[in-house]
Structure 1
Amino acid sequence: MTPLDQLLEDSIRVAAPPAAVWTLVSDVRRMAEWSPQVTSTRIADGAEPGEGVAFTNRNRYGELEWTTHARILRYEPEREIAFRIDENWAVWSFLLRPDGTEGTVLTQRRSTPDGISELATELAEGFLGGMDSFTEVLREGMRETLVAIKATAEA
């Protein structure tokens, strides 16, 4: 198992109910507001987010910029949104659960149930500082994304 094959996961408590947090994370077009890597997201054919809907992300890391293509795999209101990136096969998700008070525990996860594509492995090694280094960048980016979503939800 390489570092990019690992399950990456981070959680944060948000002082807002799941419905309010869902309104934010369920619209993939807003990801650029929070993610340090995503600069824009566009949904195919002007569709609204939902299961089966395709979208593209424009990404940046340092001087590098690239586009990824994704499809929403799961869209369960106030519970989970998950999408698979075509280029590297990674499945990214946000899971929401009530925290027992008035808040939400928000978890961001990156899983690789089909492994990582050879293309993604080569790009990580050749252009993104190597797999170990880029995995740490992804972990840090998850934390930054969660903190930013929390700030938006609690504002």
Structure 2
Amino acid sequence: MNPARAERDLDESIRIHAAPDRVWSLLIDPRTMTQASPELFATTRRRRGPLRAGETFVGWNRNGLALWPTVNTVTAFDIGREIAWHTRSSGAVWTYTLTADADGTVLRERRRLPDGASATARLFARVLLGGIERHTDELSEHVSATLAWIKSAAESAPGDDRPE
């Protein structure tokens, strides 16, 4: 295993022809990630409605036959600009940043492991996901798929909400 490759940051951006408010509304709707993510299929929360600062939620993930929960806390919430959450079990911080431009919005998704992957994440990946390096490669593909789904959903919204 190559630790640098396995624990590398994931960082990708996509240009969306929709106003930042439209993209933001998708990002704070918990249903978006369950529809957009190839791995996350459900969330459990104490409340309904959009995500909010400081909220903790459980994400339910599936990859092949492996099924597992993650506990996540929203750590950054700058309305219309950025949302991030920390996943306790893996040590990952997932961040979505929106930047308005002349054509709409640039959406950036990042996954960082500030302290490296947790021992739990490394063991789980080795036993059930074919190794952490393989799972990181899959997550990289998932980031692309998630951004593409959000782009499609934002651009197919009724009406034209692109900035003029």
TM-score by length of 2: 0.88
Aligned length: 154
Residue 48 of structure 1, CA deviation: 4.5
Partner of 2:29: 27
* Per-residue deviation, 1:116: 1.3
Q: Which residue of 1 aligns with 2:41?
A: 39
Aligned partner of 2:162 in structure 1 is: none
**Counterpart in the other structure of 1:130:** 131
Q: How does 1:84-103 map to 2 (within 5 A)?
A: 84-99=86-101, 101-103=102-104
Distance 2:10 2:84 in 1: 14
- State the percentage of identical aligned residues: 36
User: Partners in 2 of 1:116 and 1:56 — Cα distance?
Assistant: 19
Compute the displacement of 1:47 (Å). Answer: 6.8
Question: Does the alignment pair 1:109 with 2:110?
Answer: yes
Q: Which has the larger radius of gyration?
A: 2
1:78 alignment partner, SS class = coil
In structure 2, how many angstroms separate the alpha carbons of the residues matched to 1:47 and 1:33? 16
The one of 56, 66, 71 aligned to 1:69: 71
In the TM superposition, what whole-angstrom CA distance separates every residue of 1:105-155 from its partner, at most 9, and x where no partner exists? 001110111221101011112211112211110000000000000000000
CA drift of 1:46 comes to: 4.2
RMSD: 1.4
Q: Give a deviation string over 1:35-70, Cα, whole Å, max 9, x none.
A: 000101122244751111000111000111111110
Distance 1:112 1:87 in 2: 11
Residue 7, structure 1, aligned to residue 12, structure 2: no
Cα distance in 1 for residues equivalent to 2:5 and 2:124: 14
Q: Which amino acid aligns with 1:72?
A: V
Look up the equivalent residue of 1:104 and give its one-letter code.
T
- 1:151 aligned to 2:148? no
Whichever residue aligns with residue 56 of structure 1, its letter is V
